[in-house]
């Protein structure tokens, strides 16, 4: 899971404080692994340093100042590119694909189109592996099969997710 890009995506939805970002991240993407506060603030500092977010205002209080972060055009462009580009088809992608779909729905982006693009990238890789399998020996075939079965699992998830987008949208955009 790309924490910086996911936080950027959450900021594109609306400007937020670090605390709110952590709460939403944990609720939608944490899945039992909450993001440490330290990582939230260090990530936001790096994003600010790189010009992807700016601090809009600071609310003083008895504790640490509450900074409100706003995504910049540079940050929004990065989120857009991340969402529209397919992930390299390799095994164990579920967390990245999952984050993309949920964020796309939150941001009212065309999640179905992103899934189609990802499906196409997966099938392209599967064609390459199938060619390796057909042209190679049994050892090549076994290796190719391992990749093919994992990619096929991703594709099944893509199909199921595609069929559930309307219901998912209601859950992440109440």
Contacting residues toward another protein, per CB under 8 A: 116-117, 119-124, 126-127, 129-130, 134, 148-149, 151-152, 155-156, 159, 163
Cβ neighbours for 117, distance < 8 A, ≥ 6 positions apart = 84, 85, 86
- Compute the least distance from the CB of residue 124 to another protein, in Å: 5
Residue number, 22 or 125, with CB nearest to another protein: 125
Distance CA 80, CA 27 (A): 22
Nearest approach, Cβ of residue 82 and another protein (Å): 18
> Between 10 and 115, whose beta carbon lies closer to another protein?
115
Instruction: Give the separation between CA 28 and CA 41, rounded to whole angstroms.
Output: 19
Nearer to another protein, 1 or 121 (CB): 121
Residues 70 and 13: beta-carbon distance below 8 Å:
no
Q: Which is nearer to another protein, 39 or 117 (CB)?
A: 117
Least distance from another protein to the Cβ atom of residue 76, Å: 24
Helix (H, G, I), strand (E, B) or coil at 58: strand
CA gap 116, 113 in Å, rounded: 5
Q: Whole-number minimum distance, CB 160 to another protein, in Å?
A: 10
* Calpha distance 9→114 (Å, rounded): 15
| Closer to another protein by Cβ: residue 30 or 110 | 110
Q: Which residues contact 135 (CB under 8 A, 6 or more apart)?
A: none
Closest separation between CB of residue 115 and another protein, Å?
10
């Amino acid at each position: 899971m790309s924490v910086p890009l996911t936080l950027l995506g959450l900021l594109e939805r609306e400007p937020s404080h670090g605390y709110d970002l952590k709460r939403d991240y944990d609720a939608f993407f944490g899945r039992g692994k909450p993001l440490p506060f330290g990582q939230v603030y260090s990530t936001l500092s790096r994003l600010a340093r790189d010009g992807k977010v700016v601090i809009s205002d600071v609310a003083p209080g008895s504790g640490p100042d509450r900074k409100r972060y706003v995504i910049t055009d540079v940050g929004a462009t990065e989120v857009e590119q991340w969402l529209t580009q397919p992930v390299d088809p390799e095994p164990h992608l579920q967390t990245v694909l999952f984050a993309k779909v949920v964020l796309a729905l939150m941001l009212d982006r065309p999640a179905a189109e992103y899934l189609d693009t990802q499906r196409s990238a997966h099938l392209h890789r599967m064609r390459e592996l199938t060619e390796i399998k057909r042209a190679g020996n049994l050892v090549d075939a076994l290796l190719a099969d391992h990749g093919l079965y994992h990619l096929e699992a991703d594709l099944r998830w893509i199909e199921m997710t595609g069929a559930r987008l309307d219901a998912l949208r209601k859950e992440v955009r109440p």
